[in-house]
Amino acid sequence: MFDSIPEWDWKKIRDLKPVLLDRFCQRILREIDHKAAEVTLSHHQRYLDIWEIMRNQDRELAKMFNGLRRSVAILCIWHTRRLALMTDEEFS
């Protein structure tokens, strides 16, 4: 699909993976905390909403981090930038 990125850039994105993954998970957990605290909803509805968050965010996580290799690193970068997980400094 895309040409693979240079080795130097690949090493940088590979080294950033734990940081980006942690940021993404932190964002998901904040969203879940917010949903769990919505006392106007029933416990069951909150559970269903949290399950939906997890299902959707797991798909996003997979797009960015599952099978990360040089040939798809550009897609990972695109997804992390789209979701504002990668800072401008990290991107440069």
> 19-56 pLDDT, tens per residue?
999 999 999 999 999 999 999 999 999 999 999 999 99
2 lies in some domain: no
31 lies in some domain: yes
**Domain of 82, in residue numbers:** 7-87
Q: Quote the pTM value.
A: 0.78
CA-to-CA distance for 9 and 69, rounded, in angstroms? 12
Average pLDDT of 54-78? 83
52 lies in some domain: yes
| Number of structural domains found in the chain | 1
Q: Is the pLDDT of residue 5 over 80?
A: no
Token couple for 51 = 């399950």
Centroid of chain to Cα 9: 19
1 lies in some domain: no
80 falls in which pLDDT band (50, 70, 90)?
confident
DSSP state letter for 6 = P
CA-to-CA distance for 41 and 43, rounded, in angstroms? 7
Please report, as a single letter, which amino acid is at residue 20.
L
